[in-house]
Amino acid sequence: MLGMKKSIFRRLILSYMFTIVLGIGIVGILMFYFGNNYIYSAKQEELLRQSRTVNSNIQDTRWINEEKQEILEFLNQTFGSQIWIFNEKGEIIATSTQDEVSIGKSVAVSIVEKTLQGENVVSRLKFEGLSEPMLSVVVPWGKQDNVYGGIVLHSPLRGLNDIVGKIRETILWATLFGILFSTAMVSYHSWTISRPLQKIDRATSRMAMGDFRERIEIKSEDEIGDLANTINMMAEKLEKIEVERHRLDNIRSDFLANISHELRTPLTTMQGFLEALQDGLIEDEGRKRYYDVMYDETIHMNRLVDDLLDLIKLENNEITLSKYHVDTKSILEKQKFKFEREAAEKGVALTLTLGESLPNAYTDPVRFEQIINNILKNAVKFTETGEISITAEKDGPFLLLVITDTGIGISEVDQEFIWERFYKVDRGRSKQNKGTGLGLAIVKKLVELHDGKITVQSQIGQGTTFKIWMPSEEKLK
């Protein structure tokens, strides 16, 4: 991550600096070049103008008398430029500053020649007899067709060089400021880019390690903000998947634990009984009872396996119903007959009341019987006195079955959980309940598969009522 930050920063700073240095450099060089030229040529023009003024004041004679000397001194002070006058031989015959050193000296032959031909000469050289480099112009002295010599005007280069130096300095400062400013800008930009990227990196690293609770808090509405939102959405989905996976894992391990427990109980009983029989400890008459118990246990295990297979198929949507119009009355009578004896043995009455114009149930008959069977079996199992009543009537497009008992009842809290597989109220005490807690889970799934509905109402010690609505007509799709 840090590498990325560094590389973004480096790339940005390099490109910014390159642009700034190149831009300012080009502008600076051009400014320097043109400014320099402009300043020198302006000064040159000024000097030429001044020299022409000098000439117009001294062009009437070939010599410099005192009056002209005074003029020269006056013009020197006015223009701030030193003036030399030389004759056609190039000998300096007068200077505006009474400069004894220069008088009598000669100007370079090439300059004299050019001047005598009527040309102007410009030089930036240090003339002999001058204390510092000067910008010097030489113009012919005299009249157009009668040149007596030349007029030289010197102006110190120092002032000009100062100005040029200032320009150079300004450009340098501007470049420096540009670099500083661009560094600050780049730092800010790379910070605004790299900070959210760092956040994203931190969050995604956690996600990579399997922690999907992490969310990225970036509110910006740019591409980085979009990226953060997308990652957040992805994390949300992954989190849901993870929670679901966890839940399924738990269900699976619970399921396996329950199955093992339910299978172990009858197996342990049978093992104990078999061992006793093997040891020959059991008398002849006792043996039958032992076989009966073992037979019961195998039946129980068989039923457990059947129920489990049913439930697994129901949960995996692998059960297809063969629905058709089933005669409600005959099914209910058959179920009543099945449990009548067992109820009577306990002194519990079992009644069946059929409503008028009772509709057929539009169901899978095998599954329909399984539903009624499971409910009735519970009613008989959990009722010791009183009665169990079954009523059937039409309720709109449904057939409504109400199975009421006067048994032990189910508390309000437990009513919520009885539909869950393996759930048995008060496991410890109800030793006589040999059930596995799968009956109602299967009932609920089967009723829902029929697009029906089942509810429970119950009070502890008073009894329980199950209401089942099953479709009585073929649904028009």
Ligand X SMILES: Nc1ncnc2c1ncn2[C@@H]1O[C@H](COP(=O)(O)OP(=O)(O)OP(=O)(O)O)[C@@H](O)[C@H]1O
User: Which positions lie near ligand X, rule CB under 6 A?
Assistant: 307, 374, 378-379, 382, 405, 407-410, 418, 423-425, 433, 435-441, 464
How is residue 345 written in tokens? 């043995």
For ligand X, the closer CB: 12 or 314: 314
Q: How far is the CB of 466 from ligand X (least distance, A)?
A: 7
* Start-end of H helices in 86-213: 109-116, 157-208
Q: Which does 72 bind (CB under 5 to 8 A by kind): ligand X, Mg ion, none?
A: none
User: Per the structure block, which two tokens stand in for 36?
Assistant: 């320099």
Tokens 């008028």, located at residue = 356
- Site residues (CB under 5 A) for Mg ion, limited to 411-470: 435, 439
Identify the sign of the CA torsion 122, 124, 126, 132: positive
The Cα–Cα gap between 158 and 183 comes to 37
State in angstroms the smallest separation of the CB of 327 from ligand X. 26
Min separation Cβ 307 and ligand X, Å: 6
- The dihedral built from the CA positions of residue 91, 93, 97 and 99, taken in this order, carries a sign that is positive
Q: How far is the CB of 375 from Mg ion (least distance, A)?
A: 8
Residue 364 is given by DSSP the state: -
Q: How far is the CB of 439 from ligand X (least distance, A)?
A: 2
Residue with tokens 């002209």: 68
- Dihedral pair phi/psi, residue 281, rounded to 5°: -80, -20
Q: Which residues lie closer than 8 Å to 454 by C-beta, 6 or more apart? A: 443, 444, 447, 466, 467, 468, 469
Picked from ligand X, Mg ion, none, the partner binding residue 266 (CB below 5 to 8 A depending on kind) is none
Nearer to ligand X, 207 or 418 (CB): 418
**Helices 328-345 and 365-381, packing angle to 10 deg:** 20
Nearer to ligand X by Cβ, of 115 and 406: the residue is 406
**Cβ proximity of 151 and 55 under 8 Å:** yes
142 is in the binding site of which of ligand X, Mg ion, none (Cβ under 5 to 8 A by kind)?
Answer: none
Find the shortest distance in angstroms from Cβ 433 to Mg ion: 8
Residues 294 and 274 sit within 8 Å (Cβ to Cβ): yes
Q: How far apart are CA 343 and CA 383, in angstroms?
A: 9
If contact means CB under 5 to 8 A according to the sort of partner, which of ligand X, Mg ion, none does residue 438 touch?
ligand X
Closer Cβ to Mg ion, 13 or 408, answer by number: 408
The DSSP letter of residue 405 is E
Q: Which residue has the tokens 């370079």?
A: 108
Q: Which CB, 40 or 419, lies closer to ligand X?
A: 419
From Mg ion, ligand X, none, interface partner of 294 (C-beta below 5 to 8 A by class): none
308 binds, among Mg ion, ligand X, none (CB under 5 to 8 A by kind): none
Q: Are 422 and 415 in contact (CB under 8 A)?
A: no
Residue with Cβ nearer ligand X (83 or 308): 308
* Interface with Mg ion: number of residues (CB under 5 A): 3
* 378: contact with Mg ion by CB under 5 A: yes
Query: What is the closest distance, in whole angstroms, from the C-beta atom of residue 338 to ligand X in the complex?
Result: 15
Q: Which of the listed partners (ligand X, Mg ion, none) does 464 bind, with a CB threshold of 5 to 8 Å by partner kind?
A: ligand X
Chain contacts with Mg ion (rule: CB under 5 A): 378, 435, 439
